[in-house]
Amino acid sequence: MIIAKIDYINLLPFYVFLKRHLRSNSSKKALEYRKGVPSSINEAFKKRRIEAAMISSVVSKNERCSDFGIVAKKEVLSVLVCPGEEREDSESSTSNVLAKILGLQGEVLIGDKALSKRKKGCVDLAKKWYERTGLPFVFARFCYKKRARAYEKLSKKFLSSNVKIPRYILKRYAKRSNLTPQEIDAYLDLIHYEIGHKEKRSLKKFFKLANIQ
| 119 shares a domain with 88 | yes
Cβ-contact 176, 112 below 8 angstroms:
yes
| 16 shares a domain with 113 | no
| 125 shares a domain with 92 | yes
- Say whether 68 sits in a helix, a strand or coil: strand
Residue 105 inside a domain? The answer is yes
Q: Which residues pair with 140 in a beta bridge?
A: 56, 70
- Say whether 196 sits in a helix, a strand or coil: coil
Residue 200 inside a domain? The answer is no
Contacts of 128 (CB under 8 A, 6+ apart): 102, 104
Query: What was the pLDDT predicted at 28?
Result: 66
Give the dihedral sign, CA 53/72/107/133. positive
Residue 57 inside a domain? The answer is yes
Residue 190 inside a domain? The answer is no
Query: Which pLDDT band holds residue 30 (cuts at 50, 70, 90)?
Result: low
Q: Total domain count for the chain?
A: 2
Tell me the residue range of the domain where 102 lies.
79-133
pLDDT digits (tens, 9 = 90+) for 161-213: 989 999 999 999 988 888 899 999 999 999 999 999 999 999 999 999 988 75
| 104 shares a domain with 145 | no
| 167 shares a domain with 125 | no
Residue 96 inside a domain? The answer is yes
pLDDT digits (tens, 9 = 90+) for 32-70: 657 888 888 999 899 998 899 999 999 999 999 999 999
The last residue of one of the domains, among 133, 151, 166, is 133
| 99 shares a domain with 125 | yes
Q: Which residues pair with 3 in a beta bridge?
A: 52
| 56 shares a domain with 152 | yes
Cβ-contact 152, 65 below 8 angstroms:
no
147's enclosing H/E stretch is none
| Beta-strand runs (E) in the chain | 52-56, 64-72, 79-82, 107-110, 123-124, 137-144, 191-194
| 165 shares a domain with 63 | yes
Q: Which residues pair with 102 in a beta bridge?
A: none
Cβ-contact 69, 140 below 8 angstroms:
yes
Residue 116 inside a domain? The answer is yes
